[in-house]
Structure 1
Amino acid sequence: MTSLVTGATGFTGDWLARHLARSGDRVRALVRPESRERGRLLSEAGIEVVEGDLADVASLGRACHGVDVVYHIAATYRTAGQAATIYRDVNVGGTERLLNAAVDAGASRFVHCSTGGVHGHIEQPPADETAPLAPGDIYQETKLDGERLARTRGERGELEVVVARPIGIYGPGDARFLKLFKLAKGAIMIGPGRAFYHLTFVEDLVEGFRLCGTVPAAAGETYLLAGVRYTTLWELVELIARELGTSPPRFRVPVWPVWLIGALCELVCVPLRLEPPLYRRRVDFFIKSRAFDATKARRELGFEPKVDLDEGIRRTAAWYREQGLLP
């Protein structure tokens, strides 16, 4: 089987491309010119690299030629000051251009990576795939729009489409998760820590993606890909603190004044295209629950996450130490 992975120089895409190659697929990666060095590392792992991007229709045609399954991982993520038009062009327009190329090339299946964030705050946890859709920002809105585009092409019978909604991705290679380690080492916790948080170790996630691409019955379906268990945010902070050999934060501050400070930071920084030191979405992290039920993926795909939080945190911390990000 020949598989194409977009976003293969990013955290999740890199893990997926290598996992598919180890599983026996002939893997091709779409790599932007500015990511050429990361592409070279993929080539050394036996992965074919096609240079291009989601805005370059000709490169998408080359990337999709002879491909059986397209795993669409590429997206533009949250960036301070980034215009809504960029999110729409990449996460929606780029998805449409890739779908066109996949259909023209005769690909049999398109696995679209969305996000569990399209469900918003989970008021009655855990949520499954039927939970209300309530995207909370432009990133989540455009990921949902991309889902709908892909699903429509599948309903037309142009190719099989599977939508995957990953939950709380973490693991070696992801520096974004470092903020939780810094929080656990610090003295201050924002809010009571009662919100639920659900993490998925990247090694488990990419196997879930592979199943989305290969299980016949998955065609036309949507799956939440979530880790072994969810915890409260405070339980997660305590777990990380134990791994670091330190005590969890001793002081707690109310959420609302911090949220107001975040709003002010955005008001000043965003028009200047500066990264706010604090923003409202980061504060929302402390109060909005993210807890999911992946029963459907287990039942229909055979998805069985194996890496529990303790092991995942331990392996992630080891990588941070190797990179000099933790003492």
Structure 2
Amino acid sequence: MAKDHYLVIGGCGFLGQALCTQLLDRGNIVSIFDLRINGADPRLAEAIQGDITDPVQVSNACKNKTIVIHTASPIHGKATAIYFKVNVEGTRNVITACLEQGVSKLIFTSSASVTFNGEHLINANETVPYCKVHMDAYNESKAIAETEVLNANCEQLLTCAIRPSGIFGPKDAQGSFAIAESGKKGQWRLMVGNNQNLFDVTYVDNVAYAHILAADKIEWGSGIDGQPIFFWDYPKRLLHEMGYRNTQKIRLPNAVAFAIGALNDFISWVASPFATLHPTLTRFRVKFMDANRYYDISKAKKLLGYKPIVSLDEGFKRTANYWKEQGYGVAA
């Protein structure tokens, strides 16, 4: 029987690189498809440069592949049209290409926020319905894409969606990078609210591992650590590992932060015909920082045999050490 040939779409991204490393380390044949292929692992069978919004390029990339893991997505802070172009239309191209090229399995990186509308999610599982009205374009487009991936499941193509929550780790260009930047700018003293809400964060290697288990066992589950922490303990622990002390001593009340977020949203809307603004505080972000949002991962444990391969403590240490090597943090 021929060995599986994996295609990781977004293989040079934050999660994609972790996936490729784990697959290659266990001896799999792996190719990638990405807009940029700089720094691609030399062990890859192919590093294909291309655009997920081009159906021909996606179809060609899927040729002779048996398993596709689709991790590509724009980072937060982009225009609405970009999310729908990449996350929705791009994912449709992937589904079509998999069916055209005889791919047997498609694993899709979704988001734990496809069911988050600003209300608390306490020990939530896969039965929680999608939001009737989403609070941002990223998660709305992810929900649409996830639905289409799961609806494409058939005898020819087995599909699965993984919903990571709060991915962090070395080389993270979003969450942990923003925390490192806040420390460098002297903003580590401030937090919003009273830090009484629980939140799931997930080390990147654990998310990659959940995807691989899904590809092996092709079931639908959530890829998270199952160890919620208080929301502001995430930046606090990273900043502490980077040498900062007495963090989050200045507290901005949620009501004040929400008012600022509402004003920022209004300014962004007024400016939208002329420029795309990216304010730090928005109504969605304040709701996100204030809500309980943690998940029941029993289905992933039962069906995938999932359990974290890197502890949260170790994940924080590895991430902090990486950013210290990049010149962030307090010198010892």
TM-score, normalization by structure 1: 0.89
Alignment-derived partner of residue 206 in structure 2: 204
Q: How does 1:163-174 map to 2 (within 5 A)?
A: 163-174=161-172
Q: 1:240 aligns with which of 235, 238, 241?
A: 238
In structure 2, what is the Cα distance between the partners aligned to 1:127 and 1:315? 28
In structure 2, what is the Cα distance between the partners aligned to 1:47 and 1:194? 48
SS at match of 1:258: helix
SS at match of 2:263: helix
8 Å Cα contact 1:241-1:247 kept in structure 2: no
Matched, 1:295 2:302: no
**Shift of residue 114 of structure 1?**
0.6
8 Å Cα contact 1:228-1:308 kept in structure 2: no
Q: How does 1:107-256 map to 2 (within 5 A)?
A: 107-120=103-116, 121=118, 123=120, 125-134=122-131, 135-154=134-153, 156-176=154-174, 177-180=176-179, 182=182, 186-215=188-217, 218=218, 221-245=219-243, 246-256=245-255
**Shift of residue 280 of structure 1?**
2.5
Aligned-pair Cα RMSD in Å: 2.1
Alignment-derived partner of residue 102 in structure 1: 98
Matched, 1:257 2:256: yes
Matched, 1:92 2:94: no
Question: Which digits, 9 at most, give the CA deviation of each residue in 1:79-104, with x for residues without a partner?
Answer: 24x1x333222111111111111111
Structure 2 gaps of 5+ residues are none
**Shift of residue 224 of structure 1?**
0.6
- The letter of the residue matching 2:110 is S
Question: Which digits, 9 at most, give the CA deviation of each residue in 1:153-206, with x for residues without a partner?
Answer: 11x434101111111111111032233453796222211111111111111111
Structure 1 gaps of 5+ residues are none
- CA change 1:318–1:58 in 2 (3 A) is same
Flag the structure with higher helix content.
1
**Shift of residue 262 of structure 1?**
2.2
8 Å Cα contact 2:200-2:229 kept in structure 1: yes
Between stretches 194-203 and 254-263, larger displacement belongs to: 254-263
TM-score, normalization by structure 2: 0.88
SS at match of 1:291: strand
**Shift of residue 43 of structure 1?**
4.7
In structure 2, what is the Cα distance between the partners aligned to 1:123 and 1:164? 21
8 Å Cα contact 1:50-1:62 kept in structure 2: no
**Shift of residue 226 of structure 1?**
0.6
Alignment-derived partner of residue 305 in structure 1: 308
Q: Once superposed, which parts of structure 1, at least 4 consecutive aligned residues long, lie more than 4 Å away?
A: none
Question: Which digits, 9 at most, give the CA deviation of each residue in 1:86-144, with x for residues without a partner?
Answer: 32221111111111111111000010111111121563511111123224321111111
The sequence identity of aligned pairs, in percent, is: 28
SS at match of 1:224: coil
8 Å Cα contact 1:18-1:45 kept in structure 2: no
- CA change 1:251–1:289 in 2 (3 A) is same
- The letter of the residue matching 1:172 is P
**Shift of residue 322 of structure 1?**
0.9
- CA change 1:63–1:237 in 2 (3 A) is closer
8 Å Cα contact 1:185-1:247 kept in structure 2: no
In structure 2, what is the Cα distance between the partners aligned to 1:166 and 1:107? 24
Alignment-derived partner of residue 79 in structure 1: 77
8 Å Cα contact 1:4-1:70 kept in structure 2: yes
Matched, 1:20 2:17: no
8 Å Cα contact 1:196-1:290 kept in structure 2: yes
